Amino acid sequence: MVRIDLKTLQDLEFPSVLQQIANFSITEPGNDRVLKIKPFKHTDKVTPELYRVKEFTASFESDSPIPNHDFEPIDKALQFLDIENSVLEISSFRKIKSVTETTKHLLKFFKKFEEFYIYLNRFSSKVDYNPVISEEIEKKIDRFGDVKNEASEELASIRRRLNQVKGQINSSFTKALNHYSQADYLDEIKETVVENRRVLAVKAMHRKKIRGSVLGNSRTGSIVYMEPQETLDFTNELSNLIYEEQEEIKRILKQLTEFVRPYKKLLKQYQNYLSKIDVLYAKAKYARTINGVLPILTDAKFLLLKDAYHPLLWIANKKRNEKTFPQTISLEPEKRIIVISGPNAGGKSITLKTVGLLQVMLQSGLLVPVDPLSEFSFFDRVLTDIGDNQSIENHLSTYSYRLKKMNQFLRKCNKNTLFLIDEFGTGSDPELGGALAETFLEVFYEREAFGIITTHYANLKVLASELPFAINANMQFDNRSLEPLYQLHLGEAGSSFTFEVAQKNGIPYSLINKAKKKIERGKVLSLIHI
């Protein structure tokens, strides 16, 4: 079982990658799921996921693109279905129908094109689709969100009478309007609307000459707004019919809710499926952004990263129109530990982080920005000690923290472990810290773990040259300009160019020369002289 802890993911800036991926999701549940992505606990689950993402990525350029998977969450509806005698609103039924129909279209699509979407179809075929939910909602509710007349005989009858009464209201009102207008009882505007009812605009002096109900008057009091008696009787009937209509709609929605209630688990499955499709979509979109590919996967413990890019750095540099330098690095049983040395700002840490980040990305089902001929295997653990680790809350010094970290490494490290340590051994007396770091490295080596460390310690470089299955490496610099070339060179340790870099940064030569003489007299430990 794979165990990669949260601190390792944070060290490798994996949450920042997830945030970038989440920006591509188009649904809330999908977004939430992306931000919770972690490396798969079982490596046999990783490969199918990688192929699903690869197929989704290919679909963007396909003549048969995957249909839209957007949907509105139905979580509230599912919660209501848990409550006895609850009744769902029309909006909830529309969302449920959308989820079921979207699921149906996707399942049908992947089945139809199963030759091209082998892994997506295999994943989709696990969904147990039942058309009755969508069909029943279709019978009751139209595409505009209104309950259909045919939803029940009673509703159809009520609405037929409603239409008749509305017609009678209009005809009776028109008749009264013409009659009282000819009698000159009405104001110039003749009619208006009060409380959603058509009313006559009666001259106040003629109010008693008209049979009907007063619904208001003008500000000046010169006009009285009246609903004629001929219309009033029909209006009252209309109010009763509207009430009956609403009661019948409530009964229909209750009946429909009871029909849907037993399918609650199925609906949850549909939403989970669509949420997962959204995660695959976001992963695929991100893969296109970083030129992510599916490398060669091998069961043997072997890593070969060809032209590998750090995705966060690549995206940041692209925004700044700056070049990102790819790295090529390999770890194999005969060369399973690499000790990288050289000046600061030469790219050592980025190289180390690139290896770690791409490893956890791949084991989380994400395509990675490498040459397609790169090779990856899976590790049960990825252990990291990267960055400024001083713990203010626990009042631990950097070195105390790192010792605790090394203790964890000693407990967990084995042949299925990838360890990544930046500035190994620093934070203490150089001679003592270097000796302890050397001892730790020997233990990791004996346990056949795979790893990369960066260091300035000479004794660690010596150890790497002596151990048969370890190797030194350095980040290359231009000897003249002292500018980093950002290229990893395997086989030899690097120089820190301490004095050369100091001179380039304006430190007086007299001080640099004085420092060199101190080294010659042995006043500075040779361990820090590279």
pLDDT tens readout for residues 154-168: 999 999 999 999 999
Same domain, 222 and 356: no
Same domain, 413 and 275: no
**382, part of any domain:** yes
Same domain, 394 and 477: yes
Question: For residue 24, which phi and psi values (nearest 5 degrees)?
Answer: -90, -15
The CATH number covering residue 406 comes to 3.40.50.300
* SS3 state of residue 327: strand
Res 327 pLDDT > 60: yes
CA distance 167 to 342: 91
Helices (H), 348-466: 348-362, 398-412, 430-446, 458-466
**513, part of any domain:** yes
Domain boundary among 271, 286, 301: 286
Mode of pairing for the β-strands spanning 186-194 and 197-203: antiparallel
Same domain, 483 and 522: no
Q: pLDDT by residue (tens digit) across 176-188? A: 899 988 999 998 8
* SS3 state of residue 249: helix
Residue 241: Cβ within 10 Å count = 18
**Mean pLDDT over each residue of the chain, to the nearest integer:** 88
Gap between the terminal Cα atoms of the chain = 41
Res 95 pLDDT > 90: yes
Name the more confident of 511 and 4. Answer: 4
CA distance 140 to 330: 63
Same domain, 215 and 340: no
Mean pLDDT of 463-484: 82
Give the tokens for residue 472: 């030194």
**Residue-wise DSSP of 65-113:** PPPP------HHHHHHHTSTT----HHHHHHHHHHHHHHHHHHHHHHHT
Query: pLDDT value at position 424?
Result: 79
Q: pLDDT by residue (tens digit) across 369-409? A: 999 999 999 999 999 988 655 444 444 566 677 778 788 88
Question: Alpha carbon of 86 to those of 78, 211, 243, 244, 254: distances in Å?
Answer: 11, 47, 21, 21, 8
Q: Give the DSSP H/E element, type plus range, for residue 241.
A: helix 229-260
Domain span holding position 413: 292-496
Res 529 pLDDT > 60: no
- Domains in the chain, number: 4
Mean pLDDT of 479-504: 68
Res 367 pLDDT > 50: yes
Name the more confident of 272 and 412. Answer: 272
Same domain, 345 and 454: yes
Find the range with the poorest average confidence among 232-236, 352-356, 384-388: 384-388
pLDDT band at 100 (very low <50, low <70, confident <90, very high): very high
Q: pLDDT by residue (tens digit) across 419-466? A: 999 887 665 556 666 788 888 899 999 999 999 998 888 888 889 889
Cβ neighbours for 294, distance < 8 A, ≥ 6 positions apart:
50, 51, 53, 54, 367, 372
Q: Give the DSSP H/E element, type plus range, for residue 53.
A: helix 46-59
Give the tokens for residue 33: 């799921």
